[in-house]
Amino acid sequence: MNAPDGPTAEWLTAALQGTAPGCAVSGIETRDIGGGRGYMGQTLAVTLAYAPGRPPGPESVVVKLPALEAAPTPAMETLRRELYATEIAWYRDAAATSPVRAPRCLWASVADPPGPALVLEDLSGWQAVSQVEGPDLEQARLAVDALARLHARWWRSPNLDRFAWTRPLAEDAALWRERFASGWPALRSRLGKRGLPAEFAPIGDRLAFGLDRLVVDGAGSGTTLIHGDYRIENLLFGVEGGEPAVCVLDWQLAGRGSGARDLAYFLGQNLPIEARRNWEPELIERYHGGLLSGGVKDYARAALDDDYRRGLLVALWMPAHFLGVMGEAAMAGVAGVDRGALRGLRSALRLVGVAAERNIAAITDHGAEHLLGA
């Protein structure tokens, strides 16, 4: 079964047999719901019509594909496939016991062609929030509560060693340092044009050599399963059982690490600077309380504060890496590669400057740069 040109009625009929045995999709309408949100592949909401006299299936689904076009560079194609393969593995191995709401997976495969693909529950009725605008305080509380539940569930769990998709921490640490180092020159240049504080440039230079140590040290208090890309545009807000609820999307960077990395990434890059300064003490305390109530022991608040500062430094790998990748893609586009494949990268570019500026402000507010030494 493949969808080389995007989902078709025949492809979805086969994919939905596990959910709605005997259904026959007779027609589809698709719309892109990932455009402008920094996603690296195709995320499509698909409305379905069914052949009469056959069992019906869901009225609509979300289909995730790496892309309908070739990637602009081989490295980009490899990364994109790895991300989708990780999300499929998370659904296979961890979703059933996860304490946080995620879209139900109706079908998934890593087979070629077209490569990794998922068919998910459609939650279009839930509220999405722009990362540039940021969440309100109640949404931030819901997000932090969900994060604490996730991390408490997997805190120091031996199951992390059984998942082939969770790399050893030292291997991940080296990867994040390499990705930051390769993208930092581009980020430094871009932020310099946007008013990067002059005193931060040498901090970023040192981070390019010391980020791997921060990753390892940050998990010393207790390794857990982290989301890895816990930003507001990967969350949806709604109501279930009469109570406010949050749904967590896009598990493509799930792996092992320090829970404070997810927290620092969320607060440091997704909250506008003044909102973070006002809400941060409450939200960090709320996260710590959620861990304790979830059964985590021997994790002092002072240890969390140290891990949080490390997490703020580590989180900067994301805008640096993506800006570096987008620079390569832009060069490929100039050379004549299909520019349609750059659409998602261009939307991500709009987020990079805002996220990095917020992150840098949080680093300096907390004096986190002192963890790098002289």
Report the CATH number that the domain containing residue 219 is assigned in CATH: 3.90.1200.10
Report pLDDT for 195.
73
Report pLDDT for 37.
54
> Does 134 score more than 90 pLDDT?
yes
Tokens read off for 301: 């608040």
Of all residues in the chain, the percent with pLDDT exceeding 70 is 86
> Which of these three, 69, 89, 121, is where a domain ends?
121
CA 337/CA 329 separation, integer angstroms? 9
> Does 2 score more than 50 pLDDT?
no
Same domain, 253 and 191: yes
Same domain, 115 and 147: no
Q: When comparing pLDDT for 324 and 279, which is higher?
A: 279
Same domain, 50 and 142: no
Report pLDDT for 336.
44
Is residue 24 a contact partner of residue 14, using CB atoms and an 8 Å limit? no
Its domain, for residue 365, covers: 137-372
Give me the mean pLDDT over the 355-366 stretch.
Answer: 95
Same domain, 150 and 262: yes
Tell if the pTM clears 0.85, that is, is over it: yes
Report pLDDT for 141.
98
Q: In which residue are the tokens 């495969």 written?
A: 109
Distance, C-alpha 189 to centroid of its chain: 25
Tokens read off for 305: 């504060």
Same domain, 187 and 45: no
Phi-psi region of 288 (alpha: psi -120 to 50; beta: other; left: phi over 0): alpha
Distance, C-alpha 106 to centroid of its chain: 20
> Does 69 score more than 60 pLDDT?
no
Q: When comparing pLDDT for 238 and 326, which is higher?
A: 238
Give me the mean pLDDT over the 72-92 stretch.
Answer: 80
